[in-house]
Structure 1
Amino acid sequence: MNTNARQYGDLATQLITESRRSTSTDTLLKYNDVLVRSIIREQRQLETILEASLSKVPPNNIDPQKHPDILLYQTMISRNKRCLLAYHNHRLERLKDLFWTVGGALPLLLSTSSATPGGQPGVDVRSKLSPHEVDFLRSYSASLLTFRSGVLATEEVDLFAPISRPPKDLHVQVRVIRDCGVIQTEVGALDFKKGQRTLVRRGDVEHLIVQGYLEEV
C-alpha cells in the first residue's frame, strides 16, 4: 500500500486547519501561496475529469444513482471552492482587525514592525501578506479615508477612534511617549516631542493614542 497516496480534498482540509490554528493562537500566519496554488491545480484536474465523465452521458439525462462519479466530482469541486473562500475571508477579517488595532495607520501596519490585535509590537505583518492582500488593505484604507473626509467631514466623529471607552470630553491632556513629529491639529501644527504634555482636541490625536505615540493623562 502506498502510504504517500493523497485523496482529493486533503489539501483543502490542510488550508482550513491552518485557519483554525491562526484563530486558536491569535496570530496571522504567512499566506500559504504554495498550498493555494496546489488546490487550484487540483480544481483544474477535477474539472477535466468531470467534463470527461459528462461527455459520456446524454445531455439532460444525468441520474445520480447511475452516475455517482459525476456527483462525487461536483461535490469535491464545490468543497474545494468553499475552503478557498473561507481561508481568504478569514485572512481578510484578520487584516481588518489589525488595521483597526493601529488606528487606521496603514503605513504603520505595513512597516517592518507593527502591532498585533493584542497590542504586542514587533510583528512583521508585511512579509506575511500576499500582493493581493496588500492591495486590499490599501483599497480598504482609501475607502475609509474617502468616507471620513466626505460623510463625516462636518461631524465631531473620529472614524478611527476606539469604541471601548467612549470619550466624555472633546479635549484631552496627553503625554508624548514617542516622538511623532509635526501634526496638523485644529489649532495649527504641533510638534510632539517625547515627554511633552499638552491639551489637544481628542479627534486630532486619537489615532496617535491608539498607535502608542501619546498617552492620555
Structure 2
Amino acid sequence: MFCKSASQLLKELAYNDNDQLTPFNNDIFEQVFRECDEHHLHLQSLMRKIQDDGLDIQTTRNSDHFGAVIHHLSLIRNKRCLMAYMYNRAEIIRSLRWKIGTILPEEIQSKLNYSDEEYFKNHCAALEVYMSEIDLDLTVDMIPPKDPSIQVRVRCDIGDVLLGDQVASLTNNSVHLMKRTDAEQFISQFQGLMEEFT
C-alpha cells in the first residue's frame, strides 16, 4: 500500500504528548525516502512510455497517465508527511531552547539525530546573536510580569550608577525601584551584591 510508512510517521506524532520528543525514527524515515525514489522512477518511466508511444502528455487519458498520476500524488503525499514529521520535531527542539536552555539533558540528547542536533545548535546561536544585538535576554521571563518595575535591595556598597537619565547611589541596604530590565541586568552584573526585594 502506497504511503503506509509515511502515515506511520504521522501516527507516531499523533500518539505522543505535546512537546514530548521521541527518538528519531530513522528506519521508517528511510523507508519513506526509498518509496519516494521508487515513485519517482515509476513516474519517469510512465511519462517516457507515453512520449515513446507518440501521445501528448497533456491530453492523454490512458492507464499510463492514471498510473503516473497515482505515483505523482503518492510522491507528494510522502513528501508532505516527511515535512510534517520534521517540522513537528523542529518545533519541539526550538521550544527546548526556551524551556531548558542551551545544554540539553542526556535523555533528550539521546533522542536527537545529527540534523536535530545541528538545528538546535544553529537555533541557539541565532537566538544568542539576536539577543546580543537588542541587548536583552528574552529567555528570562517566559510569562510576562504584572509590573514593569521591581524593587531591589543592595546588599553591599556598589557606588553611583546611571539608571536611565538619573544617577542612583547604590549603598548597603538601600532599596530602589527600577525597571525590570535594568534590575535584571544589575542583579546579574553584581551577583550577590544586589537582590530582588519583596
TM-score normalised by L of structure 1: 0.64
1:142 counterpart = 2:99: no
Q: Distance in 2 between matches of 1:26 and 1:205?
A: 32
Could you tell me which residue of structure 1 aligns to residue 13 of structure 2? 19
User: In the superposition, relative to structure 1, how do residues 81 and 171 fare at CA in structure 2: closer, same or farther (>3 Å)?
Assistant: farther
Could you tell me which residue of structure 2 aligns to residue 176 of structure 1? none
Q: Distance in 1 between matches of 2:4 and 2:187?
A: 49
For structure 2, the residue ranges without an aligned partner over 5 or more in a row are 154-160, 162-175, 177-181, 189-195
User: In the superposition, relative to structure 1, how do residues 62 and 56 fare at CA in structure 2: closer, same or farther (>3 Å)?
Assistant: farther
1:82 to 68, 80, 105: 80
1:45 to 35, 38, 43: 38
Q: Secondary structure at the match of 1:57?
A: helix
User: In the superposition, relative to structure 1, how do residues 134 and 64 fare at CA in structure 2: closer, same or farther (>3 Å)?
Assistant: farther
The answer (yes or no) to whether the contact 1:47–1:77 under 8 Å persists in 2 is: yes
Could you tell me which residue of structure 2 aligns to residue 56 of structure 1? 49
**Partner letter of residue 102 of structure 2?**
L
**Partner letter of residue 149 of structure 2?**
D
Q: Which has the higher helix share?
A: 2
Question: What is the Cα deviation at residue 8 of structure 1?
Answer: 1.3
Q: Secondary structure at the match of 1:29?
A: coil
1:69 to 53, 67, 70: 67
Could you tell me which residue of structure 2 aligns to residue 202 of structure 1? 184
Could you tell me which residue of structure 1 aligns to residue 26 of structure 2? 33
Structure 1 stretches of at least 4 aligned residues deviating more than 3 Å after TM superposition: 62-65, 170-173, 203-206
Q: Work out which of the two has the higher radius of gyration on C-alpha atoms and give 1 or 2.
A: 2
Count of aligned pairs between the two proteins: 160
- Any idea what the Cα deviations from partners look like across 1:160-208, whole Å, max 9, x if unmatched? 12342325335657xxxxxxxxxxxx9xxxxxxxxxxxx99324678xx
2:96 to 95, 98, 102: 98
User: In the superposition, relative to structure 1, how do residues 144 and 60 fare at CA in structure 2: closer, same or farther (>3 Å)?
Assistant: farther
The answer (yes or no) to whether the contact 1:31–1:128 under 8 Å persists in 2 is: yes
For structure 1, the residue ranges without an aligned partner over 5 or more in a row are 1-6, 113-123, 174-185, 187-198, 207-214
User: In the superposition, relative to structure 1, how do residues 54 and 205 fare at CA in structure 2: closer, same or farther (>3 Å)?
Assistant: farther
The answer (yes or no) to whether the contact 2:19–2:92 under 8 Å persists in 1 is: no
Q: Distance in 1 between matches of 2:8 and 2:35?
A: 14
- Any idea what the Cα deviations from partners look like across 1:70-90, whole Å, max 9, x if unmatched? 110000000000000010001
Could you tell me which residue of structure 1 aligns to residue 149 of structure 2? 169
The answer (yes or no) to whether the contact 2:6–2:81 under 8 Å persists in 1 is: yes
- Any idea what the Cα deviations from partners look like across 1:108-145, whole Å, max 9, x if unmatched? xx232xxxxxxxxxxx1100111111111111111111
**Partner letter of residue 110 of structure 2?**
S
Question: What is the Cα deviation at residue 96 of structure 1?
Answer: 1.1
The answer (yes or no) to whether the contact 1:158–1:203 under 8 Å persists in 2 is: no
The answer (yes or no) to whether the contact 2:9–2:85 under 8 Å persists in 1 is: yes
Q: Distance in 2 between matches of 1:69 and 1:216?
A: 73
User: In the superposition, relative to structure 1, how do residues 95 and 57 fare at CA in structure 2: closer, same or farther (>3 Å)?
Assistant: same
Q: Distance in 2 between matches of 1:111 and 1:216?
A: 32
State, as a whole percentage, how many aligned pairs show the same letter. Answer: 23
Question: What is the Cα deviation at residue 158 of structure 1?
Answer: 2.5
Indicate the RMSD between aligned Cα atoms, in angstroms.
Answer: 2.9
